[in-house]
Amino acid sequence: MFDTISQQFSSLVKRLRGEARISESNITETTEEIKRILLDADVNLHVVNSFIKEVSTKAFGKEVLTSVSPGQQFVKILNDELIRLLGSEKRDLIFSSKPPTKIMVVGLQGSGKTTFSAKLANYLKQKGHQPLLVAADIYRPAAIDQLTMLGNIINVPVYSDRNESAVKITSDASKFAIEQNSDTIIIDTAGRMHIDDGMMSEVVKMKNAIQPDEILFVVDAMTGQDAVNTAKAFHDKLQITGVVLTKLDGDTRGGSALSISSVVQVPIKFVGVGEKIDALEQFYPERMASRILGMGDVVTLVEKAQSVIDEKQAEKLEKKLWKSEFSLEDFYEQLQQIKKMGPLQQIIGMIPGVSLPPNAQVDDKQLDVIEAIILSMTKEERNNPDILNGSRRKRIANGSGRTIQDVNKLLTQFEKMKKMLKNYSKMSSFMGNKSKPPKFQR
């Protein structure tokens, strides 16, 4: 699915994630490339332009988190915007508070309406519903047989009437559903073109007759830009409530998926990924974005850093470093922040450019040892380790269940680290890095 676009995005993102600096020309160059990738994938031109504008504005205005690279942060922006383009959140079917819930399935000829109707019935049945399929395509001779056959396979009843109009069948089916105790009715309609006034007025009458809870527009993803145009035309006439993209298992470039919900302002609710009855997926914008970018790990890392690192606290800490006031108490706080991010091995694994030897084990227990020792100190001792004489060290060792050697080792390591941090902070202030986090360079 979306092989070309995801290959192109993945290689762009791989390059980006290692970038230590993101400059103006860098952002411009990158957004140009994103534009090319999206246009190649047949994404609507207006959608592409506003997407690019949004990404650049966010990239220029963003403060760089200290714990991730600017490139990684850019990937996160790209990911967030892609999710927005795909409709932001997963949107569930709307069920009526007064069953049966009525779902009308509409679209062009051959888009996959009948197949989807059966797939949806099967999906709902598995979730404990009692669906009824309604054969309201009275024009194509084999249409009723096709739906009846599919209904038999999944063991779902099919309502049909070869002597009535589509409008009458639809309203009769609603009554039949109540008799049958069906809680959902799925109406499979005939394929029609939005320019065919007669057929369009029929489907509007069907809508008026039953006031459906959902009108799902089924569209073949392979038709690219046309999918977006017809969706818009159907929406203008019918106020559709959701889109179903079919044949996503085929060689589609992805343009329809990426344009449709932002152009039509209607969510994609399901995607068809094959001819089989169970080849149906609910549509998750987030999962689709990460499929396209192929960069789920970077996004998770940035999200974790964003949620965990308190910027104010980071600033306070940096000031302390300058004044050489960094204490074991601060060290302990840092430790807590790191622990919140998850197992060390996993965090290290997500940092680009850092690869652990294949069998290396990063032991989180080491953190627990350090934590236990620090916790056995008094606040005064943590803020002023110089007072830690022999007897105090012995007490701490006993309290934490470690040896005096362990305590000494920690104190030596801490002193070393403090010296290193002090040098680093001198160096960065010399290079003009003030206490504010850097911005993407303009």
Q: How far is the CB of 116 from ligand GTP (least distance, A)?
A: 6
Query: Is 30 a binder of ligand GTP (CB under 6 A)?
Result: no
- Residues with Cβ within 8 Å of residue 188, at least 6 apart in sequence: 105, 113, 114, 117, 133, 134, 135, 136, 137, 143, 147
Kindly state the DSSP code that residue 276 receives in the 8-state scheme: S
Task: Kindly tell me which residue out of 54, 226, 249, 297 binds ligand GTP, with binding defined by CB under 6 A.
Answer: 249
Closer by beta carbon to ligand GTP, 156 or else 309: 156
Closer by beta carbon to ligand GTP, 275 or else 363: 275
Task: Kindly tell me which residue out of 200, 273, 302, 397 binds ligand GTP, with binding defined by CB under 6 A.
Answer: 273
Q: What CA–CA distance (Å, rounded) separates 53 from 70?
A: 19
Q: How far is the CB of 114 from Mg ion (least distance, A)?
A: 3
List the single partner that 102 binds among Mg ion, ligand GTP, none, CB under 5 to 8 Å by kind.
Answer: none
Q: What CA–CA distance (Å, rounded) separates 278 from 59?
A: 41
Task: Kindly tell me which residue out of 6, 69, 111, 114 binds Mg ion, with binding defined by CB under 5 A.
Answer: 114
List the single partner that 256 binds among ligand GTP, Mg ion, none, CB under 5 to 8 Å by kind.
Answer: none
Q: What CA–CA distance (Å, rounded) separates 51 from 83?
A: 11
Q: What CA–CA distance (Å, rounded) separates 19 from 13?
A: 10
Within 171-190, the residues that bind ligand GTP by CB under 6 A are none
| Residues found in the chain | 442
- Residues with Cβ within 8 Å of residue 80, at least 6 apart in sequence: 58
List the single partner that 325 binds among Mg ion, ligand GTP, none, CB under 5 to 8 Å by kind.
Answer: none
Query: Is 193 a binder of ligand GTP (CB under 6 A)?
Result: no
Query: Is 230 a binder of ligand GTP (CB under 6 A)?
Result: no
Q: How far is the CB of 187 from Mg ion (least distance, A)?
A: 11
Chain-centroid distance, C-alpha 220: 23
Compute the CA torsion angle 138, 144, 147, 150 (nearest 10 deg): -170
From 29-37, 107-115, 383-391, 414-422, give the range in contact with Mg ion by CB under 5 A: 107-115
Query: Is 137 a binder of ligand GTP (CB under 6 A)?
Result: yes
∠ CA 376-380-385, rounded to 5°: 80
Location of structure tokens 């309201």: 136
Nearest to 407 by CA among 415, 397, 398: 397
Q: What CA–CA distance (Å, rounded) separates 206 from 216?
A: 14
Q: How far is the CB of 190 from ligand GTP (least distance, A)?
A: 6
List the single partner that 246 binds among ligand GTP, Mg ion, none, CB under 5 to 8 Å by kind.
Answer: ligand GTP
Side chain identity at 11, as an amino acid letter?
S
Q: How far is the CB of 201 from Mg ion (least distance, A)?
A: 20
Query: Is 138 a binder of ligand GTP (CB under 6 A)?
Result: no
Task: Kindly tell me which residue out of 59, 104, 143, 219 binds ligand GTP, with binding defined by CB under 6 A.
Answer: 143
Closer by beta carbon to ligand GTP, 234 or else 440: 234
Query: Is 189 a binder of Mg ion (CB under 5 A)?
Result: no
Q: Count residues near Mg ion (CB under 5 A).
A: 2
Backbone angles phi, psi at 217, to 5 degrees: -95, 115
Q: What CA–CA distance (Å, rounded) separates 356 from 348?
A: 8
Closer by beta carbon to ligand GTP, 199 or else 338: 199
Peptide bond into 352 cis (omega under 30): no
Location of structure tokens 């714990």: 67
Query: Is 212 a binder of ligand GTP (CB under 6 A)?
Result: no
Within 73-112, the residues that bind ligand GTP by CB under 6 A are 107, 109-112
Return the structure tokens found at 338: 């790191």
Query: Is 151 a binder of ligand GTP (CB under 6 A)?
Result: no
Nearest to 53 by CA among 27, 76, 86: 27
Q: How far is the CB of 288 from ligand GTP (least distance, A)?
A: 15
List residues near Mg ion by CB under 5 A: 113-114
Binding region for ligand GTP (CB under 6 A): 107, 109-115, 137, 140, 143, 191, 246-247, 249-250, 272-275, 279
